Structure 1
Amino acid sequence: MELSALNPNPLGAPASSGCSTASLLSTLRSYHHIQVDKHFHRQEKTPAIPASLEPSMPIQQSICVGIELEFMVALQIPNSDAVTGETRWTCPTTPEAFLGLVMGDYKDIEPSCIHKVCELIASSGVSVSCSFTPPSPSSPAQIPGTTILPLTDNSGDIRAWNNESVSGPVSKTDFWFIVPERHITRDCVSKSGMTPSNKYDWYGTELNSPILTRPEEFSQGLPTLRKCLAAVQGDMVVGLNSGCGLHLHVNEAGSMQLETALRLASLVWLLEDSLLYPLCHPFRSTSPYSARISVESRIAMERSEPTVYGEGAALVEALGEVMRQLHWRKKVDRGLLGAMKRLWSENSLISLGIALRKFDEGSLHTTTRCALVVSKYDTIEFRYPESTFDVDFIAGWADLVRQLYAVAMRPQVEFHQIFCRVYELVTRDQMPGWSAMLGAIGFNGDVSRWQRHINEYGDTLRNLDKQGILPNIGQ
């Protein structure tokens, strides 16, 4: 997700939290009525909390989102009969292509799958593209209705649908963009129980959105994504498994300040178990693709306590004072102060990104990583939720990551108040439910988008590897 970078300045603001602990705790005491789920931590009881803890705050229109959605395309098993009752497209294969699939050589399969996904999305009127592959028997040089365009970074060419008016260099983020996701394909071949149906072989793909900035995309619940997924699901046999993730990139106007990234990571550290994982399938909290930064990142695993300055010192001071006031609570762990010191000692987006990686990841860029990532595009990437074609659920997550980013952009005093308020809530013996935590960050949206999806975790989505083929929505 290429959102252009802005070089951040080192943090050096005076250490003044501006967060009166006495007034903060007085405010916190007024929220004793927060709803607590005593039975099932994913199910919210009655409508919503009586009132938002934090008055709802507007999300700046400059906060943009990019979406990556992984899914699988069905491949015909060589020399097998057509599946009865299924009229949607599946990728034709040969015994030679099947051998390549098993051996990790996808050249006879990849172009057909990628081009067909693009073709279906283009049929809905959306501009879509993929990387241009050299002509071959499975990848013809000429495809009707497409144009070949150079990339602005001179990294190659792309094949674009519905973009006849542009001839000069373009960016991938100008389009909806389809890429292969080979780790999903490998898992389907090498691991048992990972395929939606044994009537087909499967190929992993990923749909990348352009940078979403238009207000109507968010106010109308991601209508273009809805159109793309409906076109694919209605005319192609597709599926999902536990290896398919939904990743959301967020920053402001294509850039990100170090201060904002540090604040966001600090807030997410507190919210992982109280908000983010409860809004995902239970498997995601144990998935190697979405590990906790609060448990498995380098920052979490180390024990040093460096001296911090500026806002980092102010935040640690405010947090420490709240901890002293709440010292009798069993969940108050002063080790968090050390983690915040290590976090706020990072002086660049690059070093912060490395510090948030899994402790054993090293310098390699792998798919096995923590669920909060500072990407090479200077975005914060949220990798918590599972992949889904439920656009209401995805739209809820898009609103949530924008809200979290908006909180991280608030004035220092206000951010510290929200941070300390969240800390007070998550250290209660009976932690409030996730809708209350949404209120704590000033989120004022439709929680039913999540609740409908979460309800399926006890039913059709109990096992992400047993979802089956996604139904034909055109029937």
Structure 2
Amino acid sequence: METMTPANDEAGIELQFGLELEFVAPPDPYMSFGYAGFIERELKEEACFLRFAKVLGDAGLPAAFGLCLAETECGDNPHRIEAPAGTLFDNWRVIDPDTIDVDYANVSKFQYWLLKAESLESKVPRTWIGTELNSPILHQSEVQSGLPHVKRALKAIFNECKPLGAHINSGCGLHVHVSPISGLTDIHVKCVAAMLFIIDNHLLYELTSSNRRDEHSAMNKTTFASINHGRSGIDIVRRASAAGIHDYLPKSLLDRYGSQMRNLWEAEGLSDISRAVKGSFQMRGEARATLRVSLVNTIGGMSSDTLEFRHAQASFSHKFVGQWTALILAIFKVACLPAPKYKRTMRWLFNITSTTPKPQDAWLSLLHTIRNSVPDAWAQEIDVPYWVERVQENRVKAEPDVGDDGMAIMDD
């Protein structure tokens, strides 16, 4: 049998990540541009994003915002006309010209805290604005130092939304994009996907709010649908053998899920693997899954492919965002262990889920296993007592970080 040369042999691989936080923002009731219909609505959205970007800039963060209207749709758009020279980039605008790279060709939105529109269902009036806050690409040291920049951004946005507050519901997500600094590879994605195939329900969804779990129930059932049901129907060429699968996955797992794991291991190239893990659940005409391979080409052709974890509900709780991000990075670090160590951890994880079928009984053992397996002293970033308290809170409150009125709650 052909053997895959282990590509995940870094004991302490360096990771980078980005966060997406979705929420519904109150509009400025006194803002008017004198248009009707679509253009007025879009200009008000841009004004909202501009306001948020300015407070982020005031907090010392490089900030930008997305422009909702093309130049041809509104020739006298004040958000374009009044932009300082050199701050407009197609459909987004930088707040402070001094944050722009002197090499203009290297400027990318991934360098900024970016506000942009997001279609979100909400019980608040239709004049409220679906918003997505995107962090720049951050080094794993941001987590190790307590997420100081993330905390600053959350506080600035939270305060700017007062007194009506930022609103969050179960449809608002906290998405974490992760990739090694050295670049995302096929084996990274396969190893993460195999882990999530085992622990999605038993760990990650046990740590999310019950409302988010219910919101994602249909999506969760169809994630890995292509792996579960074979891949021939989605235009992926089936490979003759799943090279190297026995190097990475234990016999006990393959005895039960050998067909599914081979469907995953037979995929070649990130595009192929992306289709293999994509779910069949449709949202706004697009297939959605809890795990997504995000294929991105930045300015200058530089690749910035990431693996996106879409499980968690949005939160302005600095503690939750920090602990959730630390756990996601820990999962990725375990997936990047040398093959024998990864295989051993997978055997432990599978043994827990197969002998403890109820997620509420298995999650803590899974968390300890991941924490004990992660390299680089990353274990100290995972606060087990916090998660014990959080899970208890999840069981008595549908959305721990949201008030009864739907308004986001922030840590002190």
Aligned with residue 398 of structure 1, among 325, 328, 340: 325
TM-superposed deviation, 1:466: 4.7
Q: 2:365 maps to which residue? A: 436
1:374-427 CA-partner distances (Å, limit 9, x unpaired): 111321100000001012111112111211111111111111111111100101
TM-superposed deviation, 1:294: 6.9
What is the CA RMSD across the aligned residues, in angstroms? 3.5
- Contact conserved, 1:245 with 1:386, CA < 8 A, in 2? yes
TM-superposed deviation, 1:436: 2.0
TM-superposed deviation, 1:163: 4.3
Distance 2:239 2:91 in 1: 46
- Contact conserved, 1:279 with 1:454, CA < 8 A, in 2? yes
Report whether the alignment pairs 1:160 with 2:94: yes
Distance 1:91 1:368 in 2: 36
Return the letter of the residue paired with 2:114.
F
Report whether the alignment pairs 1:139 with 2:79: yes
Distance 1:279 1:323 in 2: 27
Going from structure 1 to structure 2, the CA distance change for 1:368 and 1:106 (only over 3 Å counts) comes to farther
Return the letter of the residue paired with 1:63.
L
For the pair shown, the structure with the greater C-alpha radius of gyration is 1
Q: Which has the higher contact order (CA 8 A, sep 6+)?
A: 1
Distance 2:287 2:31 in 1: 30
Structure 2 counterpart SS, 1:164: helix
Q: 2:152 maps to which residue? A: 227
Distance 2:183 2:5 in 1: 25
- Contact conserved, 1:356 with 1:372, CA < 8 A, in 2? yes
* Range 162-171 or range 284-293, more displaced: 284-293
- Contact conserved, 1:306 with 1:341, CA < 8 A, in 2? no
Return the letter of the residue paired with 1:92.
Y
1:178-203 CA-partner distances (Å, limit 9, x unpaired): 1110x21xx23xxxxx33xx5x8311
TM-superposed deviation, 1:220: 2.3
Distance 1:261 1:323 in 2: 18
- Contact conserved, 1:289 with 1:370, CA < 8 A, in 2? no
Aligned with residue 459 of structure 1, among 397, 402, 408: 397
Structure 2, gaps ≥5 residues long: 233-237, 297-304
Distance 1:427 1:468 in 2: 38
TM-superposed deviation, 1:233: 1.0
Return the letter of the residue paired with 1:109.
K
Q: 1:279 maps to which residue? A: 207
Q: 1:412 maps to which residue? A: 339
Distance 1:423 1:472 in 2: 36
Distance 1:398 1:471 in 2: 19
Q: 1:71 maps to which residue? A: 23
Q: 1:49 maps to which residue? A: none
Q: 1:350 maps to which residue? A: 271
Report whether the alignment pairs 1:297 with 2:225: yes
Q: 1:23 maps to which residue? A: none
Report whether the alignment pairs 1:359 with 2:290: no
Residues matched between the structures, number: 374
TM-superposed deviation, 1:300: 2.1
Q: 1:172 maps to which residue? A: 109
Distance 2:60 2:179 in 1: 27
Q: Please give the TM-score of this superposition, normalised by the length of structure 1.
A: 0.69
TM-superposed deviation, 1:219: 1.4
- Contact conserved, 2:23 with 2:166, CA < 8 A, in 1? yes
1:78-109 CA-partner distances (Å, limit 9, x unpaired): xxxxxxxxxxxx353569878549xxx73232
Distance 2:322 2:404 in 1: 24
Q: 1:446 maps to which residue? A: 383
Aligned with residue 308 of structure 2, among 369, 381, 384: 381
Going from structure 1 to structure 2, the CA distance change for 1:414 and 1:422 (only over 3 Å counts) comes to same
Distance 1:359 1:114 in 2: 33
Report whether the alignment pairs 1:212 with 2:138: yes
Aligned with residue 339 of structure 1, among 240, 246, 260: 260
Q: Please give the TM-score of this superposition, normalised by the length of structure 2.
A: 0.79
Distance 1:69 1:266 in 2: 26
Report whether the alignment pairs 1:312 with 2:264: no
TM-superposed deviation, 1:221: 2.1
Going from structure 1 to structure 2, the CA distance change for 1:290 and 1:204 (only over 3 Å counts) comes to farther
Distance 1:203 1:13 in 2: 52
Q: 1:426 maps to which residue? A: 353
1:237-270 CA-partner distances (Å, limit 9, x unpaired): 3211121101001010162110111011001110
Structure 1 counterpart SS, 2:211: helix
Distance 2:93 2:294 in 1: 25
